[in-house]
Amino acid sequence: MNLLLIRNVRVVDAQGEWRGDVAIRDGVFAALGRDFSWPGALVLDGEGRTFLPGFVDLHAHFRDPGFPKKEDLQTGSWAAAHGGFTAVSVMANTNPPCDSPDVARYILEKARSLGLVEIYPVGAITVGLRGEKLTDFPALAPFVWAFSDDGKGVERADLMAQALRLATSLGKRILSHPEFSGLERDLAEELMVERDLHLAQATGGFLHLQHLSSPRSVEMVQKAKAAGVPVTAEVTPHHLCLSREAFGEYAVNPPLPREEARLALVRAFLRGAFEAVATDHAPHTAQDKAQGAPGISGIETAFPLLFTNFVRQGLLSLSELSRYLSLGPARIMGLRKGLVRVGYDGDGVLVEEDESFVVDENFFFSKSRNTPIVGTRLWGRIWATIRRGVVIFWNGHVLGRDYDDHRQVIQKS
């Protein structure tokens, strides 16, 4: 039996906060309250720390198969665990792309053998991500939770309409990277958001819009929701926190917003316009980055960046942040995660709210360090990450999958 007890800790989730003990038995929250004594349990001292449900990332690139110099499933999992994430949805723009059951199965099997974070593959909408022909949705459906050509938009409206119908008939979502090629930034996004909202309304298909960056897109989504269109939307930490004025023209898709647009995005976020914050963790080698590859390696800095800019500034409570990093994305993915509640998956993060650190070269477990915030001081250090009752990250170290191993490491210290 695997028993983990976190004692005397401040517990915060999307439904509120309390102080006491959290017990995880065989991977699920089994008891919540005060002063338990569980013989044989591994005990973590929560004094001075805050326990949150594990974070769920709707959107990451682990580059496996195909780009081992940027990242692979192992280093991506290390980075996720370091960032407090226990479940990660990985995009299909690998090489080969995840457009066949073979690739999806490879990802699932490798993730299972690593035994760190849970990895949920996304299947490509079109064969080879070429935007010409739909993949075999029914064949992919048993292995993926959603479909997306993320990295680029699906330009053809007829394919997107078919994709929405087919995915929904299989109980899956379509994740749209809303960006027409060859158009200027805001127009490229807003036009595809508008089209996809129309298509979702016409087909009744479940649409999730990825990394929205234009306040006008968000307004359209709000109106569509009010009209009953089945749509959800995510925003990234970098689009919320980093402006073009402050961080130059750091390459990322969609591009960083100007300060005025960023503030409008923040206002929309604070009004509850998004169901989730997703990292769009997009690791690139220094060489690829120098040649203009778009993307920010962000899964390790997501929580501290948001905690520093929103919670410490008094804009958002930690409970609200937990909704965006855990419950919101877990609901979109249909996972029994995101709350510290008996019967839910025993995934959690122990955070040191008053500990600050500088994001330096040694901070990263990812293979890539492409972020414009190197050198920045952030608050909210992740002290431990627990996935189904197993401590997978602890005090600066990624631990193995084995419960007895991690027990030894923790008890010896």
Binding site for ligand DOR (CB under 6 A): 61, 93, 150-151, 177, 252-253, 280, 282, 294-295
Task: Please classify residue 33 by burial: count the beta carbons closer than 10 Å to its beta carbon, then call 0-12 exposed, 13-18 middle and 19+ buried.
Answer: exposed
Local structure of residue 255 (DSSP, 8 states): P
C-alpha distances in angstroms, 62 versus 113, 318, 401? 16, 28, 19
How many whole angstroms separate alpha carbon 225 and alpha carbon 234? Answer: 14
Question: Which candidate in 280, 345, 354, 360 is catalytic?
Answer: 280
In the complex, minimum distance from the CB of residue 35 to ligand DOR, in angstroms, rounded to a whole number = 48
Percentages of the chain per state (helix, strand, coil), in multiples of 5: 35, 25, 40
Residue with tokens 């409008």: 264
Compute the distance between CA of residue 294 and CA of residue 377 in angstroms, rounded to an integer: 24
Burial class of residue 244, CB neighbours in 10 A (0-12, 13-18, 19+): middle
- Of residues 30 and 293, the one with the C-beta less far from ligand DOR: 293
The two structure tokens encoding residue 203: 């087909």
- Report the residue number, 86 or 368, with the smaller CB distance to ligand DOR: 368
Residue closer to ligand DOR (CB basis): 74 or 236:
236
Nearer to ligand DOR, 91 or 349 (CB): 91
Minimum CB separation of residue 333 from ligand DOR in Å reads 19
Least distance (Å) between residue 293 CB and ligand DOR: 6
Q: Rounded to the nearest whole angstrom, what is the least distance from the CB of residue 185 to ligand DOR in the complex?
A: 12
Residue least distant from ligand DOR (Cβ): 295
Axis crossing angle, helix 185-203 with helix 157-169, rounded to the nearest 10? 50
Q: Which is nearer to ligand DOR, 173 or 177 (CB)?
A: 177
Q: What CA–CA distances, in Å, run from 35 to 18, 22, 23, 282, 402?
A: 14, 10, 11, 43, 27
The single-letter DSSP state of residue 127 is G
Task: Enumerate the β-bridge partners of residue 53.
Answer: 348
280 is catalytic: yes
State the minimum distance, in angstroms, from the CB of residue 282 to ligand DOR: 4
Minimum CB separation of residue 123 from ligand DOR in Å reads 16
Closer residue to ligand DOR, CB minimum distance, 151 or 328: 151
> Who contacts 87 (Cβ-Cβ below 8 Å, separation ≥6)?
54, 56, 57, 117, 118, 119, 120, 330, 333, 335, 337, 347
Task: Quote the CA–CA distance of 80 and 309 in Å, as a whole number.
Answer: 20
So which residues are the catalytic ones?
280
